Each structure stands twice: as C-alpha cells, then as structure tokens.
Chain A
Amino acid sequence: MRRRSFLKAALGAGALVPLASGGLWARPLHALPFTRSAAAGDRILVLINLNGGNDGLNTLVPVDDQRYYDARKVLGVAKSDTLSIAPGAGLYKVVQEIHDLYSDGTCAIVPNVGYPNQDRSHFRSTDIWNSASNSDQVITTGWTGRYLETIHPEYPATLPAAPFAVQVSSSTTLLLQGTRGGLGMAIDSPDRFFDLASGLSASNDPVPATLAGPQIDFIRRIILEADAYAAEINRAITAGKNRVDYPSGEIAPDRQGLGPQLQGVARLIDGGLPTTIYVVTLGGFDTHYAQSGIHETLLTDFSKSIKAFLADIAAGGNADRVVCMSYSEFGRRLAENNAKGTDHGAAAPQFVFGAPVLGGNLLGPMPDLGDLDSRGDVKMKIDFRQLYSTLLEDWLGFGHDDTVRVLGGSFTKLPLFRTASVESPEQSLSAGGMVRIDALAPSPASSSATLGYTLAGAARVSVTLFAGDGTRIATVLDRDQEAGAYQLPVDVRALPSGNYMVEVSAGRGRAMRWLQVVR
C-alpha cells in the first residue's frame, strides 16, 4: 500500500498507537488526549520562528561525542546538564518543559534539518525557509501563502469573515505571501485591534495611473481587511479564555518573549477564530558573542511558553486541533569562536509539538560530527520541505499533488502524526481495536527483535519498517491473518545504528513502535 493511502486508511489509529516513549499498549479510547478527531478544516498549525539561527548543538546535545566537547571548550553543555532522550542525545536542561512534552509523547524532535547548499545569510536563509525555495532559486511567495490560496480560490475577490492566517507581529512576512497578495494579517495586540480597526473605510475612487496607483490600492485593501476582520477577532478575543499562566513578556532588555504571543494565539483559538495558520517569533538567537546566558534565556522562554500554550490549548478542549513546529534559518557552527559565541552554521534540530504528534521520538540520528560540511557545519539529513510536506498532507489534509506543486517537488514525509485521519469521528471510532502491539524486544537490538501483536479480527496485515527520517526500508510482512496473537521476528542485521519505526497495519487499524538498533 502506498504510504499516503496507508496513513489515510489508518484513520483513528490514534486510539491504538502506543505512546512510544512509554512503550505502553494503547490506552482505552476515553483516556486518550483526543476527545474527537478533528476534521482537516478545523486543524491549526502554529509556526514558531526562532529568529537568528538557533544553536541546535546546544539545544539537543550530542552528549557522548567527544568531538563536540573538543570544539566547544567554553560553551559545551556537560552531559550532566542534559536530560537524556536517547543514547547519545540529551536535551539541554533549560528546555526541561520540552523534555516533559517529549516524555509525555507530545513532542517529536527532528534532527539535522536544513536544505542543500546552506546559505549563511540570515535574510536569504529565512527567505528560503519561508518560501520553500531551493538555495539557488528566488521565490517571492511563501509556502503557507501558496497553500492557503490553493484552498481558498475565492480569495481575494471575496473577503472571508476571519483571516486565514495571523502573524503576531507588526507586519506579515514572505511566509504568508501568495501570488494573489497577502493571505494573512498582522496583529500585534488582539485586545486593541477591534478598537483601532472597526469602522475604517476605504474609497473605491480610481487611483492615479502612476506608480502611486498600486500603492494606494494596496493600502485601501489593508484598510478593508482590517475593518472586515475586526468584528470576528473581537468576538474571539472576548469569548476566548486563557486557563494557565504564561511566562512574562520581556525576557531581556527590549527582548519580547513568546509567552504573550502564544497566550494571544491560545485565546483566539479558544474563542473559536476560524484561522488555520498562526505565526509567532522569538528573536535573538544570533549568538556570535557571549552566547552563554542569552541562549539559555531564550531556550527557557521557548520551553516554558510552548508547554504553557499546549496546556492551555488542552484545557480548552482543543488539544486535537493544534500542532506547532519550530523553525530557524540555520544552526550554528560546531566550533565556537574566540568571543565565546558561535557563527552561522547549517542543519539543526527542529521540534514538532501537540497531542496529535507521534511524540517521544527522535526522527533520525544525532549529527555526525565526523562528517561536517566544508565550513565545519552539521550536514543536512532531512530537507525542511519534508517537514512541510508532512504538515500539509498528514496534518492539514492537503492533497498530495497540490503539496508537490506548492513545495515545488515531492519530499518524503516523516512519521510525525498519530493519525492522518481526515474523516469523520464516527468512522474513526469504528476502526478502533483492530490491532495492538504487545511487545517489540529487545530494544536496543543488534541482530533481531521480536514483534508481538494481537489482531482483534481477520484482516490484511502489513508490517513495515521505516527509518527515523521516514524512509521506508522494508516490508516485513504482508498477508491475511485471522484474529489472534502473533510473534514476528524482525531482522535488523543489515541496519545501521539508529532509531527505526515498526508499523503494523491491519485493515483500518494501525499501531507503531520505535525500535533502537545498536551495532
């Protein structure tokens, strides 16, 4: 079965998927974080931009790699200052809350994310991330802008009641640009917005036939949008509630943290604003000088804010609707400079959060510090567009062909979600209980592991082995089986060390578990 239809067929598999970190058999349905399966149209994606180039090596630390400590005599994070998530991989303790989320199964970590031929300019690289271009290509629209204009062909002829996307900022970025104009709005203060924007009006007089004309048209358009969205934003911000406390705003002099931004987003979501994409930004990651201190402050804010946000979202009953992804224009060089800082690097880990996320997983190996690029930077192993393609198809329910068109190519998806269901809750409930994984041991394994699973009824059963980056490695089994318990040996002798995922699908049920291979 093709992976895409596989995921689609596996609707409701959330009910069956073990929490990988705990290695537990799926809990009864009512105990799952999902109270219902969100329809694709209700789903929300929150993008968290860590601006300036986050030092991935001091976030997800290669704790057993002496080369890291040799290159970072001043800045290296001691293993004892990390929280282990896998052999050789420790999260810096300042992101303790992210470790909590990882342990709870609501955070997946994707290491070595980047793009080929890393550009080390902040601005160019940010444009590449926002536009999803190749590094030798200039695209003047954003990937989410192109996605949104595909699903809203009526825009901009018809203005919706609420914006498709909200950037918490004084301006929107390339990310939300489409070929037909901007697809998102900027709000820096939802509380104040209604008061400022409602009642504005714009003339429709002809504009001058000069370069001033398009500028005036553009400004009038923004006036109309502000006025059009004011009522709905006001309704949502008035009806919405925050149910948890967030970190406070100013985390350093003149440096605003993520807390208040995510708090505003949570309130809009809680108030029922029908907006698909939210964008928040934490700046200050360009740590060329005296990195120690400011980097910890930023990571702490990131960690505490995202945990508060997810708790708030869950408390409002929206846990199954919201997924967050971090992104940053590049990581930083392995070797520290002599100003106790780090220069622009290449690939880095990114984080995906949310109850629907197949969490507790490190989707690939730690950086290979013996195989750096010509500048001494971590090489890309996962293309950033693999994340986008997974989010578009498996989270937002965007069609495969459209995804290929929006991203300018086909990028292998990652196993990021518990369920890729885009169908109704009733169907997903009926699919429960088809298959469960009882055991996958030993893990770590070096030659062979044994998969134990139980079928609730007769079904076509496939067992598939995936690499951590989502690459399909082998079909271990594909045959019809009767109800009952089974034991299946999985040969791992040919596999390099790393994390692998074993998926068992049986009819419409699906279960997955992670297997560690150590050579």
Chain B
Amino acid sequence: MNRRRFLLGRLNDDANGPPAPLLSASSDLTPYTPTPDKPWNAARAAHLMRRTGFGVTQAELTSALASDPATLVDAMLQPYTNPTLFWSWTQQPPLDPTAYTQEERNQIYSTWIRDVQFWWIGMMMTAGVKLREKMTLFWHGHFVSEFPKVEVAQYMYDQNRLLRQFAFGSYKDLTKQITINPAMLIYLDGNGSAKGSPNENYARELMELFTLGTGHYANNTPHYTEQDVIEMARALTGWDVNGREASFTLDKFDDGDKTLFGQTGNFGIEGYGEHDALELIFAQTDADYNIARPAIFLCSKLYQFFVYEVPNMDIVQGMAATLVANNWNVGPVLRQLFLSEHFFDDQVIGAMIKSPVDLVMGAMNAFSLKITINVDPGDPESHDPVRAMTFLSQTILYPPNVKGWPGGKSWISTATLPMRIRYLKLWIDPPDLPTTAPYGFEPTTFIKSLPDPGDVHKVVDALVTLLLPVPISDNAKSVILTTLLGGAPDYEWDPDQFEQKIRAGIIKITSLAEYQCM
C-alpha cells in the first residue's frame, strides 16, 4: 500500500479517537490454505468461531477442527427463512393512542421490546445462524434506530426482521428498504416530511452515516455538500407511516427538479419522480480508490466489525470490489474475507476488543450458562444478559445515537472494565444469591468437556486455547495451575472434587486483559 493511501484511510471519517498503531498485516485476500507454517489449528479455528459467532465451546472447536474453513463458512452463509416471534402482539397493529395514554403505551411497549431482546439473544445462541445474527447486529449498528424515539415495539421488531432478511443480502436494496421502513421513518423524521419545508434529518444521515461518509476535511473533498442535503431531503418527501407500513402521498412529494451531485432532474425514490435518488448515491465514485464510494464506506465498517478497529484500506478495497462485482450482495464479501490469508494472519488474531454483546453472549455460550431475563431489571448484578450489556453500555435496540456504537477501544473504560471483570466473576462463581444462581455454571461438566480433563496441565492449556485468543506466558499459566489445584499436588487433581477451585481458576483467566480481546 502506498503511504498516501494509508494516510488517507486513516484520516477517513470512519476512524475515530486516538490513532491506532501503524502496524499493518502484510497478508491479503488470497484464500487461506493451511500450511505447516500456518496450520488449521485450534487457535485459528477458535478465531473463526469467535469472530463469526459469539464465543466458542469445546464441542464447537472440536467440530471445527475436524472440518475446514470453506465448509464452515459456506454453512454459515446458507440461505434461511426469516423467523418470526411467537407472541401475539407482534401480529397486532400499534396501540391505539386514543385507547391508551402515552404512559400506558410506553409501559406496554417497553415490555414488548424486552420480548424482542430476549428473542434476539436466544437466536444469537442458536447453532447454525450465529453469523446471520451477528450481521443483523452489524446492520442494527449501521442503519440505526433507537427504540426510545421509535416508541412502537412492532416497528423495531419489523425493522429487526428486515435487517435479518438482508443479513447477507444486497446493501443497496437494504438501503432502499430501510429508507421507507416505518421505524426509520419515525426515527429520522422522514415520516410526514413534505414539500415546502422538508425535514433534513434522514437526508443528511443517509449520506453521512449510511452510504457515503462526510469525506476528507483536510483537502476539502466532501462526499456530499450541504446543497446535496437540501436536495436529497426534497427527493425523500411524501412518505408517512400508516399502520405498520409506509405510504406515499403524491401531493406531499416535491416533484420539481433537484440538483443532486451535480445532476439535475426530478429525483425521488421507489419509482416516484423520474430518477432514483438512491441509485444516484450508489453511483458515486470514491476518488481515492476509483470504486463506488458506498462500497468503500460499507467495507471499511465491515472490516472494523469483523477484523480490526482501523481499516486496512488495501483489504477494504478488495472487499469493495467483491461487493460491487456481486451486485452489492454482502455474502460473497464475507465469504472472501473469512477465508482469506488476512483474516487468519496472526497479526489480527486477538486484535479486536470484545463488544459487550460479544463478551456477554460469548460467556453465555462458552460456559453454557442458562439465559433468563427480566428477573430484576434494576439490579446490575441480576442475571439478565441484556441488563449486563446495558451496564457495559451496549443495549440492543437502544443504540446510543444515530451513528451506532463506536466500538473498539471505546468499549473499555474505568467505568466498564471493572464491571466486565465483575460480571464474569458473578457468572462463574455466583455468590449465594437467588439472582445469580440461575446462571447455573457447572464447573465439573465444563472441565470434562475438555480433551484431557484428568491431566491438570493439559486442562490449563485447553482452557487458555478455548478462552483466550492469544498465548500467555508460562508464568501466567502457572498462576492458573496453582489456582486450579488450590495447594494440592497435581496428582490429586480431580474435576469431580475441585469444583470451587475450578471456578477460581477460570476467574483468573477471565480477569486477564487478554480475555477482553478476541
């Protein structure tokens, strides 16, 4: 990569916060083939499972090692039917505002949104669809809507299903669908925006956060201008939310000429007007990479979500080319990425900081914890995974703002990190409290799932491989060993008898900085 490209990539609006190290993996998107140097081993298999799912169990790891990356990734990308939630409210229209007060509606909707959260985290734990759920989470953080503003649980549910429908689908088609999605119409005020004085909110975020990015500040080459915001807002007029659908009213549509990206015409969306404003966005070219700008924009974010917080623009370029070549379908991009030399490069293994969803759902999976919800929503130490995510500052269906969760180092602070460590401790070694007991971690069963449970030295190695993405020092391993044994000689090790020591030994591992990475 030439230096200018690299710097431009770093100055991109996508990269936020303090500069990350300038290390860069040297590998590319060439398919990964196991070699004696880079064998298909437990570290790489666990890496693939963690990044494409939520944590990894010994059973998943064993099964992955017996398979090969292409078989595994192809299975993750299988077509699927879009599931529906079974509660009856999901089939009903929004609550009648004349029959319920605002307060009553808020109360009812907030219990329903808990249903959706519970349903969603359940699917995250479902074998075979974890990547689909992870991509649904990606889209949720990209095409953001916040429940507190949307207010109507049905709209959030419908939007969640739309995002899932397009998990591996066409970015362009999803952009078109989300533009007239009721939750989005409400969230970014497209609802009711009519000719005369159109609302600019969606028009701006559509270009800034959903498709183009603002552009480079230093050399004043914006991807869109204030004039484009004005004109795009006009092209998006005429849409309202009606029941659970969007509806279009021709009288409210501004059918005059608009000048967008230097082209003049009667732009609209969904077949209204003479030209499609969203097609025009997707036809914008990135001047630095000479490829469709939305492809660079999206692939940078996919890279950050799946590989590392600072986009490697060489890799992103390759991903973007694949996206465009595949008619904006994301599935082929993911397949190429997850099967690449770059993805399995030692440089990037363990280089991501776990999001709260990764941390919490990863622990639920890895330690076979029982998922329940709603026991005591006000108690930070209650055994509700969604509540735990909230205290760690990522509540699904409640993103912090229209830009979604910033991710990367921002997950870690003096406020969240001690809480992350504490939660793991509570789940592995619950104090004698009714609120934590139902997680039901079973130390002996867990140890017996490992390859050589009777050999405590091999148990330490297996735990490190399963739970940590990078190796640790012999000294650190001996601390774990000592804790597992609790002063006993190693020949007395007995997983059936050492329950409390096993809990303590695992907490040593989950309290390491390395455990926060994946």
Tell me, in angstroms, the Cα distance from A188 to B198 when the chains sit together.
39
Cβ distance A319 to chain B, nearest Cβ, rounded Å: 29
Tell me, in angstroms, the Cα distance from A122 to B25 when the chains sit together.
33
B395: nearest chain-A partner, CB-CB = A254
CB–CB A171/B204 < 8 A: no
CB–CB A140/B414 < 8 A: no
Cβ distance B286 to chain A, nearest Cβ, rounded Å: 18
CB–CB B197/A214 < 8 A: no
B192: nearest chain-A partner, CB-CB = A339
Selected from B194, B214, B346, B422, the residue in CB contact (under 8 A) with A124 is B214
**A339 neighbours in B (Cβ, 8 Å):** 189, 191-193, 199
Interface residues on A, range: 35 or more
Say yes or no for A370: interface residue by CB 8 A criterion. Answer: no
Selected from A169, A177, A182, A288, the residue in CB contact (under 8 A) with B200 is A288
CB–CB B18/A170 < 8 A: no
CB–CB B351/A344 < 8 A: no
CB–CB B471/A211 < 8 A: no
Which residues between 5 and 47 of chain B lie within 8 Å of chain A, taking CB atoms?
A: 11, 13, 16-21, 23, 25
CB–CB A200/B21 < 8 A: no
Say yes or no for B67: interface residue by CB 8 A criterion. Answer: no
**B201 neighbours in A (Cβ, 8 Å):** 286, 288-289, 343
Say yes or no for A181: interface residue by CB 8 A criterion. Answer: yes
Say yes or no for A186: interface residue by CB 8 A criterion. Answer: yes
B307: nearest chain-A partner, CB-CB = A211
Which residues between 403 and 442 of chain B lie within 8 Å of chain A, taking CB atoms?
A: 403, 409-419, 421-422
A283: nearest chain-B partner, CB-CB = B401
Selected from B13, B23, B196, B204, the residue in CB contact (under 8 A) with A120 is B204
A211-B23, A212-B350 given as contacts; is B413 within 8 A of A337 (CB)? no
Cβ distance A388 to chain B, nearest Cβ, rounded Å: 20
Most buried by B among A177, A181, A188, A339: A339
Say yes or no for B220: interface residue by CB 8 A criterion. Answer: yes
Which residues between 97 and 113 of chain B lie within 8 Å of chain A, taking CB atoms?
A: 106, 110
Which residues between 122 and 143 of chain A lie within 8 Å of chain B, taking CB atoms?
A: 122-124, 127, 135-138, 140-141
Which residues between 189 and 227 of chain B lie within 8 Å of chain A, taking CB atoms?
A: 189, 191-194, 196-201, 204, 208, 214, 217-218, 220, 226
Interface-lining segment among B287-295, B297-305, B472-480: B472-480
**A122 neighbours in B (Cβ, 8 Å):** 401-403
**A186 neighbours in B (Cβ, 8 Å):** 413-416
CB–CB B393/A200 < 8 A: no
CB–CB A212/B349 < 8 A: yes
Most buried by A among B201, B346, B409, B418: B418
Selected from A141, A171, A226, the residue in CB contact (under 8 A) with B418 is A226
**B308 neighbours in A (Cβ, 8 Å):** 211
Selected from B19, B189, B348, B415, the residue in CB contact (under 8 A) with A211 is B348
Say yes or no for B353: interface residue by CB 8 A criterion. Answer: yes
CB–CB B189/A171 < 8 A: no
Which residues between 215 and 239 of chain A lie within 8 Å of chain B, taking CB atoms?
A: 215-216, 218-220, 222-223, 225-226, 229
A210-B348, A211-B23 given as contacts; is B513 within 8 A of A375 (CB)? no
CB–CB B193/A343 < 8 A: no
Cβ distance B347 to chain A, nearest Cβ, rounded Å: 5
Say yes or no for B282: interface residue by CB 8 A criterion. Answer: no
Selected from A121, A210, A253, A283, the residue in CB contact (under 8 A) with B110 is A253
CB–CB A197/B414 < 8 A: yes
B474: nearest chain-A partner, CB-CB = A205
Tell me, in angstroms, the Cα distance from A182 to B417 when the chains sit together.
15
Selected from B20, B402, B416, B421, the residue in CB contact (under 8 A) with A170 is B416
B25: nearest chain-A partner, CB-CB = A211
Selected from B19, B217, B350, B422, the residue in CB contact (under 8 A) with A208 is B350
Cβ distance B426 to chain A, nearest Cβ, rounded Å: 11
A120-B204, A216-B513 given as contacts; is B410 within 8 A of A206 (CB)? no
Which residues between 241 and 270 of chain B lie within 8 Å of chain A, taking CB atoms?
A: none
**A210 neighbours in B (Cβ, 8 Å):** 23, 346-351, 470
Tell me, in angstroms, the Cα distance from A186 to B229 when the chains sit together.
36
**A455 neighbours in B (Cβ, 8 Å):** none
Most buried by A among B18, B218, B353, B401: B18
A212: nearest chain-B partner, CB-CB = B350
**B218 neighbours in A (Cβ, 8 Å):** 136-138
**A187 neighbours in B (Cβ, 8 Å):** 414-415
Which residues between 96 and 134 of chain A lie within 8 Å of chain B, taking CB atoms?
A: 119-124, 127
**B204 neighbours in A (Cβ, 8 Å):** 120-121, 344
Tell me, in angstroms, the Cα distance from A143 to B136 when the chains sit together.
37
Interface residues on B, range: 35 or more
Selected from B217, B412, B414, B475, the residue in CB contact (under 8 A) with A218 is B412
Say yes or no for A21: interface residue by CB 8 A criterion. Answer: no
Say yes or no for B469: interface residue by CB 8 A criterion. Answer: yes
CB–CB A192/B199 < 8 A: no
Tell me, in angstroms, the Cα distance from A495 to B512 when the chains sit together.
67
Say yes or no for B123: interface residue by CB 8 A criterion. Answer: no
Say yes or no for A80: interface residue by CB 8 A criterion. Answer: no
CB–CB B220/A136 < 8 A: yes
A interface footprint on B350-387 (CB within 8 Å = 1, 0 otherwise): 11110000000000000000000000000010000000
Most buried by B among A135, A163, A208, A374: A208
Cβ distance A320 to chain B, nearest Cβ, rounded Å: 29
Tell me, in angstroms, the Cα distance from A196 to B421 when the chains sit together.
9
- Do most interface residues of chain B lie in helix, strand or loop, or is the interface mixed? loop
**B93 neighbours in A (Cβ, 8 Å):** none
**A215 neighbours in B (Cβ, 8 Å):** 350-353, 409, 517
CB–CB A219/B415 < 8 A: no
Say yes or no for B398: interface residue by CB 8 A criterion. Answer: yes
B interface footprint on A353-395 (CB within 8 Å = 1, 0 otherwise): 0000000000000000000001100000000000000000000
Say yes or no for A202: interface residue by CB 8 A criterion. Answer: yes
A254-B148, A337-B197, A337-B198 given as contacts; is B418 within 8 A of A197 (CB)? yes
Say yes or no for B329: interface residue by CB 8 A criterion. Answer: no
**A169 neighbours in B (Cβ, 8 Å):** 415
Say yes or no for B516: interface residue by CB 8 A criterion. Answer: yes
CB–CB A171/B413 < 8 A: yes
Tell me, in angstroms, the Cα distance from A119 to B226 when the chains sit together.
9
A120-B229, A124-B13, A197-B414 given as contacts; is B194 within 8 A of A338 (CB)? yes
Cβ distance B237 to chain A, nearest Cβ, rounded Å: 9
B110: nearest chain-A partner, CB-CB = A253
Selected from A172, A254, A289, the residue in CB contact (under 8 A) with B413 is A172
Most buried by B among A185, A188, A212: A212
**B276 neighbours in A (Cβ, 8 Å):** none
**A222 neighbours in B (Cβ, 8 Å):** 412-414, 417
Say yes or no for A512: interface residue by CB 8 A criterion. Answer: no
**B21 neighbours in A (Cβ, 8 Å):** 211, 214
Tell me, in angstroms, the Cα distance from A337 to B402 when the chains sit together.
20
**B469 neighbours in A (Cβ, 8 Å):** 212
Say yes or no for B514: interface residue by CB 8 A criterion. Answer: yes
CB–CB B413/A208 < 8 A: no
Say yes or no for A255: interface residue by CB 8 A criterion. Answer: yes
**B348 neighbours in A (Cβ, 8 Å):** 210-211
Tell me, in angstroms, the Cα distance from A185 to B418 when the chains sit together.
12
Q: Ordered nearest first, which 10 A-B pairs have the shortest CB separation?
A: A212-B350, A211-B351, A196-B418, A170-B393, A186-B413, A254-B148, A219-B513, A186-B415, A185-B414, A288-B201
Instruction: Supply 7 further A-B pairs (C-beta < 8 A) apart from A171-B415, A339-B192.
Output: A120-B204, A188-B415, A193-B415, A196-B419, A222-B412, A288-B201, A289-B199
Interface of B toward A, CB cutoff 8 Å: 11, 13, 16-21, 23, 25, 106, 110, 147-148, 151, 188-189, 191-194, 196-201, 204, 208, 214, 217-218, 220, 226, 229, 308, 346-353, 380, 392-393, 398, 401-403, 409-419, 421-422, 469-473, 475-476, 511-514, 516-517
What are 22 A-B pairs at a CB distance below 8 A?
A121-B204, A121-B214, A122-B401, A122-B402, A123-B208, A170-B392, A170-B393, A185-B414, A185-B415, A193-B418, A196-B421, A210-B23, A212-B350, A215-B517, A216-B470, A219-B513, A223-B421, A253-B151, A254-B147, A338-B193, A338-B199, A339-B199
